[in-house]
Amino acid sequence: MADEFSGKIESKGLNPGLIVLLVIGGLLVAFLVGNFVLYTYAQRNLPPRKKKPVSKKKMKKEKPKQGVQVPGE
């Protein structure tokens, strides 16, 4: 029985599971490389983020923590 199948095995190309893994892996690598390129571009060319303005309410709370300042300083 083993003799019947020994000559009939032919190479049918790549395994479909391997093709799926290669496609998904390629897309994942392309996504990560694209993110890295965009991140480095943004770090070089975009201005830094502006800080949010501090509300007046918060400033009133912070003033007593700083202590009493001598006039004229």
Q: What is the pLDDT of residues 1-40, one digit of tens each?
A: 556 666 566 667 779 999 999 999 999 999 999 999 999 9
What sign for the dihedral angle of Cα 31, 40, 47, 50? positive
The number of distinct structural domains making up the chain is 1
Residue with tokens 């003033």: 63
Residue 28 placed within a domain: yes
pTM for the full predicted model? 0.49
In-domain check, residue 42: yes
Domain that holds residue 55: 15-63
